Amino acid sequence: GVTATGNLAGLGANTFTGAQTFGGDITVDNSTPQLNMKVTADSQKHRINFYNTADSILSRIQTDPSTGKISLQKNTGEDILTGTPDGAVELYYDNSKKLETTSGGASVTGALDCDSFDCSGSLNVSGNATYHGNLDLHDNDKLRLGTGDDLQIYHDGSNSYVKDAGAGILILAGS
């Protein structure tokens, strides 16, 4: 084997087999396609930094050895994506968390814009809901209004119903 102290320069292509041990940072300098990489590790963080040829960081992958959390970050250190083993995956937009997986599913901060939405369980909405289109219900599915579902509107396949199941009376009013 070869033991070198100081710099070891290899000209041309080199192949290393087996486990390699490095006592410090690892730098990959590749002017074509103009992307350089540096791997660093200490007791606080492990990082892979990706640089352009001007030596400014384009992005980095960082891990926290104590928690196993991994982060994909932009050059300023702002998170783009983070993941924690057996825990949350978080997506960020301009350093603001927008989506997070949870033990019960996922949490979205802000608006969720989608072409289609299929919910096979319960949908709980706090705040106002605005629909631009139809609200389609199957036969015997009820539009229930009021805290105790006091007012129900439904169709049973043959007949249509407006049912007042509350303590008060049903009032139909015009203008």
pLDDT of residue 32: 56
pLDDT of residue 35: 64
Which of helix, strand or coil describes residue 103? coil
The secondary element (H helix, E strand) that includes residue 101 is strand 96-102
Tens of pLDDT, residue by residue, the chain (175 residues): 677 777 777 776 677 777 777 767 676 666 555 567 778 777 778 888 777 766 666 788 888 888 889 999 988 889 999 999 999 999 999 999 999 999 999 999 998 888 888 888 888 888 888 888 888 899 999 999 988 889 999 999 999 999 998 888 888 899 8
Q: What is the pTM of this model?
A: 0.62
Cβ pair 8, 15 in contact under 8 A: no
Give the residue among 124, 90, 123, 128 at the shortest CA–CA distance from 109.
90
Tallying the residues shown for the chain, one arrives at 175
